[in-house]
A and B are shown apart, each in its own frame.
Chain A
């Protein structure tokens, strides 16, 4: 009897072990099943008495995008204003591009970054956006529509600048046009200028150059982004600033340039310059708040997140300029008929300003700032866009206080920040080689 129960115990133990193994494996994978609501579910029954011939009410649009903009509040407001149903899926930058390219059946609207387009467009899963159907396209900031910005240095910026991939030569084309056409790839709705963030209390002085990232003063206290296409641009700004090397075009490096820059990175890594590398937003916030890292490349909302936890954090305006990124939405090839009409309605709604104001309160810029202004208080617009001291506390859309009265946005006004963009996140022609060398850097 004793033996039997002992065996029973053993069996249970092994089963428990197996169960744990299974759940662990499962938990490593992101649940990717989209929760498909039955199509034709009325989005907003409260409105039903009104006589409406608008058929788009029965449409469900499936979005994929990053957590930055796939936010429930935006979805709810869109459903309320537009009357059709929207499903959002928040993914990492990498997953988002993967699905955009490899699983076209999974989405109707792609909310992605302009730098992914040199990979997404040739895959042929997006359809060109008919600009003539957009009410306010002409009002979109000229950085996107014309590659111009009052003569500021952003006009000469390197990398996958949105204007370079904004237009297609014709409707069914996979070729980017060098001058404006009627066919757009993505319609921008949020973008920002990224730079180094630092803890002034731990650094003890002002950081004014990208080169500081390799400064021996901060040995073992810096961090860089572990996404090859973005991290390499930050690294390029650093080595250029230090005069360690020059580039023909940072946004499209040659193999020799990639070799040299990874060698420099490897030297720095082996000398112990970096504390850690980060891949997700939360990791960069944790590194900063825990004091593990005092100076690192960061994303704007990560800086506000650090601040909202009660730590000082500066998003440094640097003399070499900013690295920028731009996000927009594109239409899946599968959209047609009523669903396509709904998608255009969404784009027009998105440009109308509510979304711009919502994202603006977190520090992102809107495609049409003058529209966002309509939905922001005077104090908010003055702080976020005009670089003026806050006349009241700045509260983000989720109720967290980001800045106190009197604070000034790091880097100043919209014109100062976006005008000083020198590079954009980039997909280079040597992308495959870059990833290989980046792995070498991580492995070294």
Chain B
């Protein structure tokens, strides 16, 4: 083989492994899910015969709508609180901490929630937020309340709290990234032009941080859309999300129905992601 043909082939050879992995572990499974979602099932087996029943039952059931609304509620709340916490944290890290070592250490501290397993994290909320938990004992001791507050645990509040705690970092990392890339001279220039601190934030920093916020939002939105572990454990099994619905169906061997739900979930999530990309031009970031 001459070196010229090799040169021509080289890029193709280089992308081959990636492409195979991509096809095998992403495209193929999704295709399979899409195919299975049109199959019939009978409780213990899937029957490869075409049917629209799975989709019909999803679109005609009020449970699906209710569950989607509930999932959206979690998405909006978690996204909002993640952003509300992540932006100031990243801002502080990027602009107030000058020492780079300290910056790295503090950034790593943001990953603390990931230092234990998911299950242990969830269980440890009980002694904190439970009826006989630390927070309630404190409130009772201070006579703020006369009865233990029940909605701290096994409620929507608990679900949102659990997810914000888990996913905040996915918002912090990209926002921090964007803020670090902002050319500091721009800020100095704005100040020289007489901009107030608030104006600098609004006119310079926020627009430049937008791609980071968008990337973080994509992380958070997609993670929360498919969430089922936190919803089950923090919601005490009483809260519904699409992920949990799918999980129950898989547990009962209703694979085609679960697949149909998964396809719809994928489409809905993609629409949300596309929506975010429409608002913010994320390419500036990459």
A120 interface residue (CB < 8 Å to B): yes
B137 interface residue (CB < 8 Å to A): no
A444 interface residue (CB < 8 Å to B): yes
A10–B177 touching, CB < 8 Å: yes
B44–A444 touching, CB < 8 Å: no
B43–A292 touching, CB < 8 Å: no
Known contacts A6-B180, A286-B123, A436-B57; decide if A28 and B252 are in contact (CB<8 Å). no
| In-complex Cβ contact of B70 among A102, A440, A443 (8 A) | A443
B38 interface residue (CB < 8 Å to A): no
Known contacts A286-B126, A292-B130; decide if A276 and B253 are in contact (CB<8 Å). no
A27–B118 touching, CB < 8 Å: yes
Q: How far is the CA of A274 from the CA of B235 in the complex (A)?
A: 12
B154–A439 touching, CB < 8 Å: no
Q: Which B residues touch A24, using CB under 8 A?
A: 114, 118
A439–B63 touching, CB < 8 Å: yes
A17–B170 touching, CB < 8 Å: yes
B126–A20 touching, CB < 8 Å: no
Stretch of A57-65, A93-101, A394-402, A403-411 with 4 or more beta carbons under 8 angstroms from chain B: A93-101
Nearest Cβ in chain B — how far from A94, in angstroms?
4
B126–A431 touching, CB < 8 Å: no
Q: Which A residues touch B61, using CB under 8 A?
A: 436, 440
Q: How far is the CA of A403 from the CA of B245 in the complex (A)?
A: 40
- The residues in B between 189 and 244 inclusive whose CB is less than 8 angstroms from any CB of A are 219, 229, 232-233, 236-238, 240, 244
Mark each residue of chain A from 403 to 444: 1 if its CB lies under 8 Å from any CB of chain B, else 0. Answer: 000000000000000000000000100011001101110111
B45 interface residue (CB < 8 Å to A): yes
Known contacts A9-B180, A279-B232, A442-B248; decide if A119 and B44 are in contact (CB<8 Å). yes
B127–A290 touching, CB < 8 Å: yes
Tell me how many residues of A have a C-beta within 8 Å of chain B: 53
B45–A101 touching, CB < 8 Å: yes
B126–A290 touching, CB < 8 Å: yes
A27–B104 touching, CB < 8 Å: no
A277–B236 touching, CB < 8 Å: yes
Q: How far is the CA of A269 from the CA of B229 in the complex (A)?
A: 21
A203 interface residue (CB < 8 Å to B): no
B169 interface residue (CB < 8 Å to A): yes
A216 interface residue (CB < 8 Å to B): no
- The residues in A between 105 and 128 inclusive whose CB is less than 8 angstroms from any CB of B are 119-120, 122-123
Query: What is B's interface to A at a CB cutoff of 8 Å?
Result: 41, 43-45, 57, 61-63, 66-67, 70, 100, 103-104, 107-108, 111, 114, 117-118, 123, 126-127, 130-133, 150, 153-154, 169-170, 173-174, 176-177, 180-181, 219, 229, 232-233, 236-238, 240, 244-245, 248-254
A-B CB contact pairs (8 Å), 25 listed: A6-B100, A10-B176, A13-B177, A24-B118, A27-B118, A28-B118, A98-B253, A101-B45, A223-B236, A269-B238, A274-B238, A276-B238, A277-B237, A278-B237, A279-B237, A286-B126, A290-B127, A290-B133, A291-B130, A435-B248, A435-B249, A436-B57, A439-B249, A440-B63, A442-B240
Interchain residue pairs A-B with the least CB separation, the first 3:
A276-B236, A277-B237, A443-B240
